[in-house]
Structures are given as C-alpha cells and as structure tokens.
C-alpha cells in the first residue's frame, strides 16, 4: 500500500500516493458533475461522513490524511476544520436568506468542491475535458487497476504557440 506514515504537508505528498491522488480527482469531478452523471451521484449519496471525506472515496487512513492536511494560506487549519467552518457559515447565511422558502440545505458541489479545488490546485475545466482522466474514470471508477498509473492532470504550458509568420 502507498500510504504515508507522517501527516502530508504538501500536494507533492499526495501525488506520491497515485491511488489517493486519483481518488481526490474523482471526488472533485463527482462534486461538480453529479447532476449529469448517475454514477457520481450514487457515490456521493453513499458518503456517510459529514465532511464528505470518507467511504466510498477514501479508506480510513486516507480520510485521516486528508482531514489533517493543512493548506497554504489557511492559518494552519486542517482541511476538516475548513470544511466544517465553511459549511457552518454557509448554513447560517442560508438560514438568514431563505426564511421565506424554508430551504436551508447546503450544496456539496457549490460548498465543498471549491475547497478541494483550491487545496489541491485542481482546475475543474481541465478535469472535465481531460480524455485520459475520463477514460480512466469510466474504466476503473474509484479503484485503479494494476496497469493504471495516475500521475495527475498534465500541466498547462503557457509558452506561446508557434504561430505562422505573415509574409
């Protein structure tokens, strides 16, 4: 198994665990696409953990690593506390705004996905359009096969493209 013995302190620590790094991407993908993807909705509906960091996406060791992870610029708060604080704040805000409708629910896609995207530097658009990731997700779901080697999304190059010179 590819687990770390110490608390992950950087994104690189998670990248060193290809299976966990892949599951993080699947989780973000599911949060953003559960309306259009019935398998994503099924996976999200089966999550029991209040912070959404748990089975079926993450085993107990992985969940603890994620919950304990402190991201840059968050005043050293663990990810679990950031999620709980964000959900509490959003719920309080909704309670003030939605008195008329009585709809006080928080939305995982709008409330949790941005936290993960920022914490792990995941670009949703890149995730949704990467054919290799989508094929791997379709083929493997949450469990990478023996031949599957997930290294993450390719980095975008910001170098100028070779444009044709005008004559």
Quick: pLDDT tens for 81-138: 988 888 888 878 777 776 666 665 667 667 889 999 998 999 989 999 999 999 999 9
Quick: pLDDT tens for 40-62: 999 999 998 888 899 999 999 99
| Nearby residues of 140 by Cβ (< 8 Å), 6 or more positions away | 148
> pLDDT band at residue 148, thresholds of 50, 70 and 90?
confident
| Nearby residues of 156 by Cβ (< 8 Å), 6 or more positions away | 126
How far is residue 8's CA from residue 120's CA, in Å, rounded to a whole number? Answer: 12
Quick: pLDDT tens for 133-145: 999 999 999 988 7
pTM exceeding the 0.85 threshold for the entire prediction: no
Q: Give percent of the chain above pLDDT 90.
A: 40
Q: Note the pLDDT of residue 104.
A: 57
Q: Where are the beta strands (DSSP E) in the chain?
A: none
Residue 123 CB neighbour total at 10 angstroms: 13
Judge contact between 31 and 116, C-beta under 8 A.
yes
Give Dmax (Cα) for the chain.
Answer: 66
Q: Note the pLDDT of residue 105.
A: 62
């Amino acid at each position: 198994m590819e687990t770390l013995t110490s608390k992950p302190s950087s994104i690189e620590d998670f990248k060193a665990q290809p299976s966990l790094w892949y599951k993080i991407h699947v989780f973000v993908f599911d949060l953003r696409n559960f309306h259009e993807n019935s398998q994503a909705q099924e996976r999200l509906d089966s999550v029991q953990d209040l912070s959404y960091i748990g089975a079926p996406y993450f085993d107990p060791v992985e969940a603890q690593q994620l919950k304990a992870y402190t991201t840059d610029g968050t005043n050293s708060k663990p990810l679990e506390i950031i999620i709980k604080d964000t959900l509490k704040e959003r719920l309080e805000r909704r309670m003030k705004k939605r008195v008329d409708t009585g709809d006080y629910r928080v939305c995982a896609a709008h409330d949790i996905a941005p936290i993960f995207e920022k914490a792990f530097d995941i670009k949703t658009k890149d995730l949704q359009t990467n054919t290799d990731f989508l094929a791997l997700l379709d083929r493997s779901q949450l469990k990478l096969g023996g031949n599957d080697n997930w290294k993450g999304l390719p980095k975008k190059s910001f170098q100028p493209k070779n444009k044709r010179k005008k004559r």
